[in-house]
Amino acid sequence: MADHIGEILDCPITIEDSNHRIIAYSEHEENVDAARIATIIRRKVPENVINSLWKSGVMTKLFESDEPVIIPAIENVGLGNRIAVSVRKNNEVLGFIWAQTNDKKITEDKLQMLKEAAKQVKNQLLQHQIKKRKAEENYKEFFWKLLAGHVPKLNEIKRQADKFGINLDGKLSVAIIEFDHEVSPKIEKHAYYLIETLQQVHVVCRVFDQNQLILLIRHGSNNASINSLKCFLENFIEKIKERLKIEQVKGSCGLIYDSPQMINKSYQEALRVLELKEEFSHELKLIYSYQELGIYQFLEELFNIRNKEKYQNYSIGKLREYDRKHQSNLLPTLKTYLECDNNVQDAAKVLHVHTNTLNYRLKRIAEIAEIDLKDVNQKITLYLDLKIEEMKSDNS
Protein backbone atom coordinates (compact mmCIF):
# COMPACT_ATOMS: atom_id res chain seq x y z
CA MET A 1 0.00 0.00 0.00
CA ALA A 2 2.85 2.40 0.84
CA ASP A 3 4.46 1.63 -2.54
CA HIS A 4 1.14 2.17 -4.31
CA ILE A 5 0.60 5.58 -2.66
CA GLY A 6 4.22 6.47 -3.47
CA GLU A 7 3.70 5.64 -7.17
CA ILE A 8 0.53 7.74 -7.39
CA LEU A 9 2.09 10.78 -5.68
CA ASP A 10 5.58 10.17 -7.10
CA CYS A 11 7.05 10.61 -3.59
CA PRO A 12 8.66 8.42 -0.89
CA ILE A 13 5.95 7.47 1.65
CA THR A 14 5.94 6.44 5.30
CA ILE A 15 2.90 5.18 7.20
CA GLU A 16 3.07 5.57 11.00
CA ASP A 17 0.83 4.74 13.93
CA SER A 18 -0.46 7.51 16.21
CA ASN A 19 2.74 7.39 18.29
CA HIS A 20 5.07 7.80 15.29
CA ARG A 21 6.18 4.18 15.14
CA ILE A 22 6.72 3.28 11.50
CA ILE A 23 4.29 0.66 10.15
CA ALA A 24 5.39 0.68 6.50
CA TYR A 25 7.49 2.67 4.06
CA SER A 26 7.72 2.76 0.28
CA GLU A 27 10.74 2.23 -1.91
CA HIS A 28 12.91 5.24 -2.66
CA GLU A 29 15.78 5.81 -5.04
CA GLU A 30 17.62 9.01 -4.17
CA ASN A 31 17.38 12.44 -2.52
CA VAL A 32 15.84 11.12 0.68
CA ASP A 33 16.52 13.29 3.69
CA ALA A 34 18.16 12.48 7.02
CA ALA A 35 14.86 12.40 8.94
CA ARG A 36 13.45 9.66 6.67
CA ILE A 37 16.61 7.55 6.91
CA ALA A 38 16.70 7.87 10.73
CA THR A 39 13.01 6.98 10.98
CA ILE A 40 13.43 3.82 8.90
CA ILE A 41 16.55 2.70 10.77
CA ARG A 42 15.00 3.27 14.22
CA ARG A 43 11.50 2.17 13.16
CA LYS A 44 10.36 5.36 14.86
CA VAL A 45 10.46 9.12 14.16
CA PRO A 46 13.37 10.73 16.10
CA GLU A 47 12.35 12.77 19.13
CA ASN A 48 13.97 16.01 17.87
CA VAL A 49 11.90 15.79 14.66
CA ILE A 50 8.66 15.28 16.63
CA ASN A 51 9.48 18.24 18.92
CA SER A 52 10.14 20.48 15.90
CA LEU A 53 6.83 19.46 14.31
CA TRP A 54 4.99 20.38 17.51
CA LYS A 55 6.81 23.72 17.81
CA SER A 56 5.97 24.62 14.22
CA GLY A 57 2.27 23.82 14.78
CA VAL A 58 2.22 20.91 12.31
CA MET A 59 1.21 18.24 14.84
CA THR A 60 -1.59 20.41 16.22
CA LYS A 61 -3.07 20.73 12.70
CA LEU A 62 -2.77 16.99 12.07
CA PHE A 63 -4.47 16.11 15.35
CA GLU A 64 -7.29 18.62 14.83
CA SER A 65 -8.10 18.10 11.14
CA ASP A 66 -8.25 15.37 8.48
CA GLU A 67 -7.08 17.80 5.78
CA PRO A 68 -3.57 17.32 4.32
CA VAL A 69 -0.94 19.68 5.74
CA ILE A 70 1.88 21.18 3.68
CA ILE A 71 5.11 21.24 5.73
CA PRO A 72 8.09 23.38 4.70
CA ALA A 73 11.55 21.93 5.34
CA ILE A 74 12.94 22.06 8.88
CA GLU A 75 16.63 21.90 8.04
CA ASN A 76 18.05 21.81 11.58
CA VAL A 77 16.50 18.35 12.12
CA GLY A 78 17.13 17.04 8.61
CA LEU A 79 13.48 17.20 7.51
CA GLY A 80 12.81 18.08 3.88
CA ASN A 81 9.56 19.34 2.38
CA ARG A 82 6.57 17.17 3.26
CA ILE A 83 2.86 16.79 2.92
CA ALA A 84 1.12 14.79 5.63
CA VAL A 85 -2.37 13.66 6.56
CA SER A 86 -3.80 12.03 9.68
CA VAL A 87 -5.57 8.69 9.42
CA ARG A 88 -8.77 8.78 11.47
CA LYS A 89 -11.75 6.86 12.67
CA ASN A 90 -14.26 9.56 13.58
CA ASN A 91 -12.30 11.92 15.86
CA GLU A 92 -9.62 9.42 16.87
CA VAL A 93 -6.20 9.65 15.20
CA LEU A 94 -4.99 6.16 14.24
CA GLY A 95 -1.81 7.25 12.47
CA PHE A 96 -0.28 9.40 9.74
CA ILE A 97 0.85 9.24 6.12
CA TRP A 98 3.91 11.31 5.25
CA ALA A 99 5.10 12.09 1.73
CA GLN A 100 8.56 13.56 1.12
CA THR A 101 7.91 15.99 -1.73
CA ASN A 102 11.34 17.63 -2.10
CA ASP A 103 10.89 20.31 -4.78
CA LYS A 104 7.89 18.69 -6.50
CA LYS A 105 4.85 20.85 -7.14
CA ILE A 106 1.96 20.00 -4.83
CA THR A 107 -1.32 20.21 -6.75
CA GLU A 108 -4.85 20.10 -5.38
CA ASP A 109 -5.23 16.70 -7.06
CA LYS A 110 -2.27 15.31 -5.08
CA LEU A 111 -3.66 16.67 -1.81
CA GLN A 112 -7.01 15.03 -2.56
CA MET A 113 -5.28 11.75 -3.46
CA LEU A 114 -3.45 11.77 -0.12
CA LYS A 115 -6.74 12.34 1.68
CA GLU A 116 -8.28 9.37 -0.17
CA ALA A 117 -5.23 7.25 0.67
CA ALA A 118 -5.83 7.94 4.38
CA LYS A 119 -9.30 6.35 4.06
CA GLN A 120 -7.74 3.22 2.53
CA VAL A 121 -5.09 2.96 5.26
CA LYS A 122 -7.68 3.35 8.05
CA ASN A 123 -8.77 -0.30 8.18
CA GLN A 124 -5.18 -1.56 8.31
CA LEU A 125 -4.31 0.76 11.21
CA LEU A 126 -7.53 -0.21 13.02
CA GLN A 127 -6.45 -3.85 12.98
CA HIS A 128 -2.98 -2.87 14.19
CA GLN A 129 -4.49 -0.83 17.05
CA ILE A 130 -6.88 -3.60 18.12
CA LYS A 131 -4.00 -6.09 18.40
CA LYS A 132 -1.95 -3.61 20.44
CA ARG A 133 -4.79 -2.86 22.84
CA LYS A 134 -5.55 -6.55 23.32
CA ALA A 135 -1.89 -7.20 24.22
CA GLU A 136 -1.99 -4.35 26.77
CA GLU A 137 -5.20 -5.63 28.37
CA ASN A 138 -3.63 -9.07 28.76
CA TYR A 139 -0.63 -7.85 30.73
CA LYS A 140 -2.41 -5.29 32.97
CA GLU A 141 -3.48 -7.86 35.57
CA PHE A 142 0.06 -9.25 35.70
CA PHE A 143 1.46 -5.72 36.08
CA TRP A 144 -0.89 -5.05 39.01
CA LYS A 145 0.26 -8.28 40.67
CA LEU A 146 3.88 -7.08 40.36
CA LEU A 147 2.99 -3.67 41.82
CA ALA A 148 1.17 -5.32 44.73
CA GLY A 149 3.96 -7.86 45.31
CA HIS A 150 1.62 -10.81 44.75
CA VAL A 151 4.11 -12.78 42.62
CA PRO A 152 7.01 -13.18 45.06
CA LYS A 153 8.97 -15.97 43.36
CA LEU A 154 11.44 -14.94 40.67
CA ASN A 155 10.91 -17.99 38.47
CA GLU A 156 7.12 -17.39 38.45
CA ILE A 157 7.60 -13.73 37.56
CA LYS A 158 9.84 -14.70 34.64
CA ARG A 159 7.43 -17.39 33.47
CA GLN A 160 4.48 -14.98 33.35
CA ALA A 161 6.60 -12.22 31.81
CA ASP A 162 7.60 -14.59 28.98
CA LYS A 163 3.94 -15.49 28.49
CA PHE A 164 3.05 -11.83 27.89
CA GLY A 165 6.23 -11.03 25.95
CA ILE A 166 7.52 -8.62 28.62
CA ASN A 167 11.26 -8.21 29.09
CA LEU A 168 12.08 -7.75 32.77
CA ASP A 169 15.85 -8.26 32.45
CA GLY A 170 18.19 -5.55 33.72
CA LYS A 171 17.42 -2.70 36.10
CA LEU A 172 13.82 -1.68 36.81
CA SER A 173 11.99 1.15 38.53
CA VAL A 174 8.45 2.48 38.87
CA ALA A 175 7.42 6.03 38.01
CA ILE A 176 4.06 7.73 38.62
CA ILE A 177 2.48 10.72 36.89
CA GLU A 178 -0.34 12.15 39.02
CA PHE A 179 -3.04 14.54 37.75
CA ASP A 180 -5.25 16.67 40.01
CA HIS A 181 -8.46 14.97 38.82
CA GLU A 182 -9.53 11.68 37.27
CA VAL A 183 -8.01 11.17 33.84
CA SER A 184 -10.14 12.01 30.80
CA PRO A 185 -9.85 10.10 27.49
CA LYS A 186 -8.06 13.16 26.04
CA ILE A 187 -5.41 13.16 28.79
CA GLU A 188 -5.03 9.39 28.44
CA LYS A 189 -4.37 9.63 24.68
CA HIS A 190 -1.81 12.42 25.08
CA ALA A 191 -0.12 10.62 27.97
CA TYR A 192 0.32 7.45 25.90
CA TYR A 193 1.50 9.56 22.98
CA LEU A 194 4.20 11.19 25.11
CA ILE A 195 5.31 7.84 26.56
CA GLU A 196 5.98 6.64 23.03
CA THR A 197 7.55 9.80 21.65
CA LEU A 198 9.80 10.81 24.56
CA GLN A 199 12.68 8.46 23.96
CA GLN A 200 14.66 9.01 27.18
CA VAL A 201 13.52 5.81 28.93
CA HIS A 202 12.05 2.45 27.93
CA VAL A 203 8.54 1.91 29.32
CA VAL A 204 7.80 -1.80 29.74
CA CYS A 205 4.29 -1.62 31.24
CA ARG A 206 1.80 1.17 31.82
CA VAL A 207 -1.58 1.42 33.51
CA PHE A 208 -3.94 4.17 34.65
CA ASP A 209 -5.35 4.07 38.19
CA GLN A 210 -7.91 6.85 38.73
CA ASN A 211 -5.78 10.01 38.51
CA GLN A 212 -2.39 8.26 38.27
CA LEU A 213 -0.43 6.90 35.34
CA ILE A 214 1.88 4.14 36.63
CA LEU A 215 4.90 3.15 34.54
CA LEU A 216 7.36 0.29 34.81
CA ILE A 217 10.66 1.44 33.34
CA ARG A 218 13.53 -0.80 32.27
CA HIS A 219 17.00 0.72 32.16
CA GLY A 220 19.85 -0.51 30.02
CA SER A 221 22.84 -1.74 31.99
CA ASN A 222 24.77 1.41 31.06
CA ASN A 223 21.80 3.76 31.51
CA ALA A 224 20.52 3.02 35.02
CA SER A 225 20.29 6.61 36.13
CA ILE A 226 17.98 8.49 38.49
CA ASN A 227 18.82 11.60 36.43
CA SER A 228 17.45 10.03 33.22
CA LEU A 229 14.20 9.25 35.08
CA LYS A 230 14.02 12.81 36.40
CA CYS A 231 14.57 14.27 32.92
CA PHE A 232 11.83 12.03 31.52
CA LEU A 233 9.35 13.10 34.22
CA GLU A 234 10.23 16.78 33.84
CA ASN A 235 9.83 16.65 30.04
CA PHE A 236 6.61 14.65 30.24
CA ILE A 237 5.03 17.06 32.74
CA GLU A 238 6.19 20.17 30.87
CA LYS A 239 4.82 18.93 27.53
CA ILE A 240 1.47 17.60 28.75
CA LYS A 241 0.81 20.82 30.71
CA GLU A 242 1.71 22.92 27.69
CA ARG A 243 -0.30 20.91 25.13
CA LEU A 244 -3.43 20.32 27.22
CA LYS A 245 -3.33 23.61 29.17
CA ILE A 246 -3.50 21.89 32.56
CA GLU A 247 -1.73 23.10 35.68
CA GLN A 248 -1.47 20.49 38.41
CA VAL A 249 0.66 17.51 37.36
CA LYS A 250 3.12 15.79 39.71
CA GLY A 251 5.73 13.13 39.07
CA SER A 252 7.64 10.67 41.21
CA CYS A 253 9.80 7.57 40.94
CA GLY A 254 11.13 4.86 43.21
CA LEU A 255 14.66 3.54 43.34
CA ILE A 256 16.19 1.44 40.54
CA TYR A 257 16.50 -2.28 41.39
CA ASP A 258 18.21 -5.26 39.78
CA SER A 259 15.33 -7.71 40.22
CA PRO A 260 11.63 -7.69 39.22
CA GLN A 261 10.93 -8.94 42.75
CA MET A 262 11.59 -5.34 43.89
CA ILE A 263 8.96 -3.72 41.63
CA ASN A 264 6.53 -3.48 44.57
CA LYS A 265 9.19 -1.70 46.68
CA SER A 266 9.94 0.83 43.92
CA TYR A 267 6.18 1.42 43.53
CA GLN A 268 5.71 2.05 47.27
CA GLU A 269 8.66 4.48 47.20
CA ALA A 270 7.14 6.41 44.28
CA LEU A 271 3.82 6.65 46.16
CA ARG A 272 5.69 7.89 49.25
CA VAL A 273 7.33 10.66 47.24
CA LEU A 274 3.89 11.88 46.12
CA GLU A 275 2.57 11.81 49.70
CA LEU A 276 5.51 13.86 50.95
CA LYS A 277 5.30 16.31 48.04
CA GLU A 278 1.71 16.94 49.15
CA GLU A 279 2.73 17.45 52.78
CA PHE A 280 5.87 19.52 52.07
CA SER A 281 4.81 21.17 48.81
CA HIS A 282 7.29 24.04 49.01
CA GLU A 283 10.35 22.10 50.17
CA LEU A 284 9.85 19.16 47.78
CA LYS A 285 8.50 21.03 44.76
CA LEU A 286 11.47 20.07 42.56
CA ILE A 287 11.93 16.57 44.00
CA TYR A 288 10.96 13.55 41.87
CA SER A 289 12.86 10.52 43.14
CA TYR A 290 12.86 8.68 46.47
CA GLN A 291 16.64 9.02 46.39
CA GLU A 292 16.35 12.82 46.58
CA LEU A 293 14.08 12.87 49.64
CA GLY A 294 17.01 12.74 52.02
CA ILE A 295 15.85 13.10 55.63
CA TYR A 296 12.22 13.30 54.48
CA GLN A 297 12.41 9.51 53.94
CA PHE A 298 12.61 9.08 57.73
CA LEU A 299 10.77 12.15 59.03
CA GLU A 300 7.50 10.36 59.82
CA GLU A 301 9.31 7.69 61.88
CA LEU A 302 11.21 10.39 63.79
CA PHE A 303 7.95 12.30 64.29
CA ASN A 304 6.35 9.21 65.87
CA ILE A 305 9.37 8.58 68.10
CA ARG A 306 9.47 12.21 69.30
CA ASN A 307 5.72 12.15 69.98
CA LYS A 308 5.92 8.91 71.93
CA GLU A 309 8.78 10.23 74.05
CA LYS A 310 7.10 13.66 74.45
CA TYR A 311 10.50 15.10 73.55
CA GLN A 312 11.06 18.86 73.35
CA ASN A 313 14.21 20.43 71.94
CA TYR A 314 15.82 22.51 74.71
CA SER A 315 17.48 25.03 72.35
CA ILE A 316 14.34 25.61 70.26
CA GLY A 317 12.36 26.16 73.47
CA LYS A 318 14.88 28.76 74.71
CA LEU A 319 14.71 30.69 71.41
CA ARG A 320 10.91 30.59 71.31
CA GLU A 321 10.69 31.92 74.85
CA TYR A 322 13.20 34.70 74.05
CA ASP A 323 11.26 35.71 70.93
CA ARG A 324 8.02 35.82 72.93
CA LYS A 325 9.47 38.05 75.63
CA HIS A 326 11.36 40.43 73.33
CA GLN A 327 9.14 40.39 70.20
CA SER A 328 12.16 39.22 68.20
CA ASN A 329 12.42 36.59 65.45
CA LEU A 330 15.52 34.58 66.26
CA LEU A 331 13.84 31.18 65.80
CA PRO A 332 12.57 31.98 62.25
CA THR A 333 16.05 33.34 61.50
CA LEU A 334 17.65 30.05 62.59
CA LYS A 335 15.15 28.06 60.52
CA THR A 336 15.89 30.12 57.39
CA TYR A 337 19.65 29.85 57.95
CA LEU A 338 19.46 26.04 58.22
CA GLU A 339 17.16 25.77 55.16
CA CYS A 340 19.71 27.80 53.17
CA ASP A 341 22.36 25.18 53.95
CA ASN A 342 24.10 27.51 56.43
CA ASN A 343 24.87 30.01 53.68
CA VAL A 344 24.82 33.46 55.28
CA GLN A 345 24.49 35.38 52.01
CA ASP A 346 21.57 33.27 50.74
CA ALA A 347 19.79 33.41 54.10
CA ALA A 348 20.28 37.20 54.32
CA LYS A 349 18.60 37.59 50.93
CA VAL A 350 15.61 35.50 52.01
CA LEU A 351 15.30 37.47 55.26
CA HIS A 352 15.91 40.83 53.50
CA VAL A 353 18.66 41.84 55.95
CA HIS A 354 22.33 42.71 55.63
CA THR A 355 24.83 39.87 56.15
CA ASN A 356 26.30 41.74 59.16
CA THR A 357 22.84 41.85 60.73
CA LEU A 358 22.39 38.13 60.15
CA ASN A 359 25.83 37.31 61.57
CA TYR A 360 24.93 39.29 64.72
CA ARG A 361 21.64 37.40 65.03
CA LEU A 362 23.40 34.05 64.61
CA LYS A 363 25.81 34.99 67.39
CA ARG A 364 22.87 35.81 69.69
CA ILE A 365 21.12 32.56 68.68
CA ALA A 366 24.20 30.55 69.63
CA GLU A 367 24.43 32.31 73.01
CA ILE A 368 20.75 32.12 73.95
CA ALA A 369 20.14 28.58 72.68
CA GLU A 370 23.49 27.32 73.99
CA ILE A 371 24.42 25.74 70.68
CA ASP A 372 27.49 25.59 68.46
CA LEU A 373 26.49 26.51 64.88
CA LYS A 374 29.77 25.04 63.63
CA ASP A 375 28.77 21.59 64.90
CA VAL A 376 27.14 19.64 62.06
CA ASN A 377 25.48 17.19 64.44
CA GLN A 378 23.77 19.96 66.41
CA LYS A 379 22.62 21.73 63.24
CA ILE A 380 21.12 18.52 61.79
CA THR A 381 19.26 17.85 65.05
CA LEU A 382 17.87 21.39 65.12
CA TYR A 383 16.80 21.14 61.47
CA LEU A 384 15.02 17.81 62.05
CA ASP A 385 13.27 18.99 65.20
CA LEU A 386 12.06 22.16 63.46
CA LYS A 387 10.60 20.01 60.65
CA ILE A 388 8.94 17.72 63.20
CA GLU A 389 7.39 20.75 64.89
CA GLU A 390 5.94 21.78 61.51
CA MET A 391 4.37 18.32 61.20
CA LYS A 392 2.91 18.60 64.69
CA SER A 393 1.42 21.97 63.83
CA ASP A 394 -0.08 20.64 60.57
CA ASN A 395 -1.57 17.60 62.35
CA SER A 396 -3.11 19.70 65.09
Domains and CATH numbers, the chain: 2-127 (3.30.450.40), 149-289 (3.30.70.270), 301-395 (1.10.10.2840)
Average pLDDT, consecutive stretches of 10 residues, N- to C-terminus, the chain (396 residues): 89 90 85 88 88 89 89 90 90 89 84 89 83 74 91 90 87 94 85 82 89 90 74 92 89 93 96 92 90 88 87 91 93 93 93 94 94 92 90 69
Contact by Cβ (8 Å): 44, 22 = yes
Q: How far is CA 70 from CA 119, 302, 352, in A?
A: 19, 62, 55
243 CB burial (10 A radius; 0-12, 13-18, 19+): middle
Tell me, what DSSP letter sits at residue 219?
A: E
- At residue 289, the pLDDT reads 93
Strand, helix or coil at 271?
Answer: helix
- From the list 285, 316, 179, the residue with the least C-alpha distance to 241 is 179
Contact by Cβ (8 Å): 244, 174 = no
- From the list 132, 229, 223, the residue with the least C-alpha distance to 176 is 229
Identify the helix (H) or strand (E) that includes residue 51: helix 47-55
What is the bridge-based pairing of β-strands 212-219 and 202-209? Answer: antiparallel
Contact by Cβ (8 Å): 298, 387 = no
For residue 354, give every residue at least 6 positions away whose Cβ sits within 8 Å of its Cβ, in sequence order, or none.
Answer: 348
Instruction: Note the pTM of the prediction, 2 decimals.
Output: 0.73
CA distance 31 to 342: 61
